[in-house]
Amino acid sequence: MARKYFGTDGIRGKIGRYPMTPDFVLKLGWAAGKVLASTGHPLVLIGKDTRISGYMLESALQAGLVAAGVNIRLLGPMPTPAVAYLTRAFRASAGIVISASHNPYDDNGVKFFSGKGTKLPDSIEEEIESWLEKEFKTVSSDELGKVERAKDAAGRYIEFCKRALPSDVSLKGLRIVVDCANGATYHVAPDVLRELGAEVIAIANDPDGLNINDECGATHVQGLQETVSRYRADAGIALDGDGDRLIMVDQKGQMVDGDEILAIIAHHRHADGKLQGGVVGTLMSNLGLEKAVEALGVPFYRANVGDRYVIELMEKHDCDLGGESSGHIIVRDFITTGDGIIAALQVLRAMRATGKSLHDLKQVMLKYPQTLINVPTRQKINLNESESIQSVVRQVEEVLGSRGRVLLRASGTEPLIRVMVEGEDAVETKALAETIAEAVRTAA
């Protein structure tokens, strides 16, 4: 069954435009409640990021759930991974996050976690969608759900994060800048680091409902780079609006992306004998990450782009470590989804254990130059069946050999073909990418 509303990360859109309207979210809460109600009188947790629209959607969502007979505990502003963790800790039937992650403040979305803290299976999302087509009916008054606010949800998550470091490991002596993106981590990330002993300089930690991800956070690290350099900090941590994405900055002010973070954690875990099952990246992961992992003698797997697909492949191959270049890092033996704070603590642990700087640690991976060209198309092209394109791709792959790779994929949201070429030489890589792009333009 093709899903009408659910994408790879819940339902998302511009506030005030269908489906991100109060009436739709009311019905969504009711539909989800009807599906969950089959398990008895369920408990659902609701968390949100700091967008001004979160209050409106939270009210609509809880009204729909209550009308279906579901009990609710409100978590308030809370990182997405915190909701995943707390759903398991509270033994809830499901967790819901109101967030549009790294998007601008005027977007928002609703995503669900199962009682195990994992993304909902496709079958459950499809069942929710089927209820959206049915008539809204409120249960009888004696069956209505109840709503209460969860006590010390932030404190419970802070303690959970701290357990990601062994009790004998302290961050004392480290000066760390943390950019909270004016989002859901503003009241937890600085406290986690301080309670572990670090000297913390927090920036973008004063949300007003409109400034989430605004020139800050994991998608805009320039402010973090400047602050790390100004305060001569040992490291910078950039989280996104809902806290499931991490980009770091080393003591020289240089960015450390998701691929480099994965390489650092993988090497440290391998040295400790704790790298389980290999590492999962995506089709867009840098070739340097693949080679860095394979140098350890463990497999590297590539999933489709999207943390949902990364997690699926991690489960299939029983891997504890996976993620995306954008900074979604899943440390599966700690948490069931991407968690920026947990991932950052793994890197800081490696710094502490080795005595090396973040700049030195990231040298375990040689980043290959990468050229990405978006080619607009007037019509749909079957890339595999286009001999003119495939002939050029084969020629380029022959030139690169084991020194690089080629990736062509159609955009899922725009009439574009994405041409990506990686190689050891930046000039050669760009020229080869242009060669393939021209073949795509001709075929289009």
- Average confidence (pLDDT) over 54-59: 98
What class, spelled out in words, does domain 11-152 have in CATH? Answer: alpha beta
In the predicted model, is pLDDT for residue 1 greater than 60? Answer: no
What architecture (CATH level 2) is domain 166-364?
A: 3-Layer(aba) Sandwich (3.40)
Q: Is the pLDDT of residue 317 over 70?
A: yes
Quickly list H helices, 178-326: 189-195, 222-231, 258-271, 287-294, 307-317
Res 184 pLDDT > 60: yes
Using CB atoms within 10 Å of the CB of residue 94, give its burial: 0 to 12 exposed, 13 to 18 middle, 19+ buried. buried
Domain range list for the chain: 11-152, 166-364, 370-443
Q: The tokens 């198309």 sit on which residue?
A: 377
Do the two domains 11-152 and 166-364 of this chain adopt the same fold? yes
Q: How sure is the predictor about 411, in pLDDT bands with cuts at 50, 70 and 90?
A: confident
Strands 199-203 and 107-114 turn out to be: unpaired
Q: Which residue has the tokens 């060209």?
A: 373
Cis check: omega of the bond before 376, within 30 degrees of 0: no
Q: Which of 3, 108, 96 is nearest to 52 (CA)?
A: 108
Quick one: fold of 370-443? TATA-Binding Protein (3.30.310)
Pairing mode, if any, of strands 300-303 and 279-282? Answer: parallel
Higher pLDDT residue, 78 or 380? Answer: 78
What is the DSSP secondary-structure string of 296-320?
A: TT--EEEEPSSHHHHHHHHHHHT-S
Query: What percent of the chain is predicted at pLDDT more than 70?
Result: 98
Catalytic center residues: 101
pLDDT of residue 378: 81
pLDDT of res. 12? 95
Separation CA 295–CA 279 (nearest Å): 12
Give the bridge partners for 14, in sequence order.
107
- Confidence (pLDDT) at 2: 65
Q: Give the DSSP letter string of 406-441.
A: EEEEE-SSSSEEEEEEE-S-HHHHHHHHHHHHHHHH
